[in-house]
Structure 1
Amino acid sequence: MKLAFSSLGMPGAGIDELIRCAEEGKAEGLELRIADGEAITRNMPATAQQAVRRRIEDAGLTLIAISSYIKVCSPAPDADVISALHETLELAASLRAGGVRIFPGAEGNGEVKDWDQIAAGRLSVAAEAASSLGVDLLLETHDSHPTGRDISRILRVVEPAGTTKALWDVLHPWRHGERPEETASYLEGSLAYCQFKDAVLGPEPGSVTLTLPGEGDIPITEIAGIAEKVSQRQGNPTYWACLEWEKAWHPHLEDLPAALSAFRTLLMPEATP
């Protein structure tokens, strides 16, 4: 198991700050979100892309994914969504990222099966480009499709298979009542990695109070163990456990280094001084 973290935990940080945090926190991977004012942006010049890639490689880190906010169930025209997917895949390839995070993002009152077909059709078109670029499309358990069961409905009809994978955000299946072993069974064969966070859950699915890893209700160590076994059965050489600390959305949270330290202590107690 190797640790990574999302730049969501250090809003506005440049690539040097993120690398320093990784080195001090003994993380080996980064997940960089695409947003204005962040280390990578949608329209960043080629020279800037090359500079970021070199800094990451020189530091001996792995860019496991870049995080887009593309919604594959969006009501936008197919051409617009597919174009955004292609552009982001090219950015990921230039940065030598392993994948591109995307959301389901279904809206309105349409039937679930219609949303699934829309997403699968768009992903099938983009999957060919992803395969040629050597970048995975990573569909997250999120928003309209929060569980492994939801995501699996889409992935099983995407063609060609293999390039579009699942990103298991551990909060959402858990708060919707899907047990970790159930999520794993739905995602096995297509699991890329997990995004970890911890929280205290209220009586309703939307009632969530984020906590430091190990201080909430989510069984992080259990999920990590299950997911690592799935990864091994899939033949993956490395299982990445990625901390998604939501400092950008919840400024009152402690700074990322504290969360990363707690995360490492929880998952790798034997390696913690």
Structure 2
Amino acid sequence: MRLALSTLGTPGVPLSGSVDLARRFGLDGLELRLHPDTGVHAGLDAAERAAVVRTLGDLAPFCLSGYVRICEPGDDGPVIEALRADLRLARDLGADFVRVFPGGDDLAAGTRRLAAVADEGARVLVETHDSLPTGAAVAALLDRAPRAGAIWDLLHPWRHGEEPAETLRRLGDRIVCVQIKDAVSASDTTPVPLGTGAVPLSAARRLLDGFDGWVSLEWERTWYPGIPPVEEILPGALAWAAG
């Protein structure tokens, strides 16, 4: 497995700070959160995109974590165009994947929208999140959209009653990335250092022996400013990945 860091970890830290941190800890890449706070988003012009590429250097921006809600209610047009904008950015930055959220439970709409961009570059990954939090729920969409893949956020399926073995069974080789994190409990999702909370990280790690995709540490200090800096969490992520 290849270990990456999500750039949502520390609000206000520029991309260069995340790059320096990734290099210091010997990580393989970054999961780039698309937001003005991180300096990476679909509104960048050509010169700004080139500057992002220079800042990254040889560090892989393996996934652009966008906020398109692929199954949200409403017209398809705005959703497809927003996703196309993220896909164009992925092309310019050299990212292989673009993350979307479910954002609703209209699987028919999600299927149409994913089909509309199926041949437009980076592979779209649906995260186990919000309205489709489990492997079973995301698999029901991916069964209709075979080119799309999955991001398995270890927290959400488990806190909705789906054990890691079942998530893996449901999603199988469609899992491209696993987001690792720990939390106080299923009802209190405040992040805590890996291995000190209730998320079944050890069970998930045993299941992922031989996994050759990406693992991304998602440390949500943007939303929980009182938690420790990500520098204190990365050693635990490296140990977890090492098994």
TM-score normalised by structure 2 residue count:
0.94
**Partner residue of 2:100?**
102
Map of 2:69 onto structure 1: 71
Q: Which residue of 2 aligns with 1:25?
A: 25
2:188 paired residue number: 207
Equivalent residue, structure 2, for 1:178: 162
1:194 touches 1:227 (CA, 8 Å); kept in 2?
A: no
Deviation by residue 1:110-166 (Cα, 9 ceiling, x = unmatched): xx5xx111111111111122xxx2x110100000000000000000011xx23x100
Number of residue pairs the alignment of both structures matches: 243
Residue 146 (structure 1) aligns with = 133
In structure 2, how many angstroms separate the alpha carbons of the residues matched to 1:197 and 1:69? Answer: 20
Q: CA deviation at 1:219?
A: 2.1
Deviates more, 1:42-51 or 1:140-149: 42-51
Cα deviation for residue 48 of structure 1 reads 1.3
Tell me how far apart the structure 2 counterparts of residues 52 and 208 of structure 1 sit (CA, whole Å): 32
Q: What SS does the aligned partner of 2:191 have?
A: strand
Distance 1:68 1:209 in 2: 22
TM-score, normalising length: structure 1: 0.84
**Quick one: distance in 1 between partners of 2:52 and 2:202?**
32
CA offset at residue 77 of structure 1? 1.3
CA contact (8 A) 1:228 1:239 kept: no
Aligned partners of 1:167 and 1:193 also within 8 Å: yes
Relative to structure 1, the CA distance from residue 227 to residue 265 in structure 2 (aligned partners, 3 Å threshold; closer, same or farther) is closer
1:165–1:192 Cα contact (<8 Å) kept: yes
**Aligned letter for 2:201?**
I
Which range moves more in the overlay, 255-264 or 141-150? 255-264
Match of 1:190 in 2: 174
Q: Structure 1 stretches (4+) deviating beyond 3 angstroms?
A: none
1:87-110 CA distance string (max 9 Å, x none):
11010111001211100011xxxx
**Does the Cα contact within 8 Å between 2:6 and 2:33 map onto a contact in 1?**
yes
In the alignment, structure 1 residue 156 sits paired with structure 2 residue 148: no
In the other structure, the counterpart of 1:248 is 222
Q: How far apart in 1 are the matches of 2:209 and 2:12?
A: 31
2:234 alignment partner in structure 1: 260
Shift of 1:37: 2.7
The 5-angstrom pairing of residues 28-47 of structure 1 reads 28-47=28-47
Give how far 1:27 is off: 1.3
Q: Secondary structure at the match of 1:40?
A: coil
Q: Cα RMSD (Å) of the superposition?
A: 1.5
Write the letter of the residue equivalent to 1:176.
H
Gaps of 5+ in 1: 107-111, 232-237
Partner of 1:250, secondary structure, is coil
1:234 is matched with none
Distance in structure 1 (CA, Å) of the matches to 2:74 and 2:233: 37
- Provide closer, same or farther for how the CA distance between residues 187 and 21 of structure 1 changes in structure 2, counting only shifts above 3 A: same
Amino acid at match of 1:218: V
Give 1:266's aligned amino acid.
W
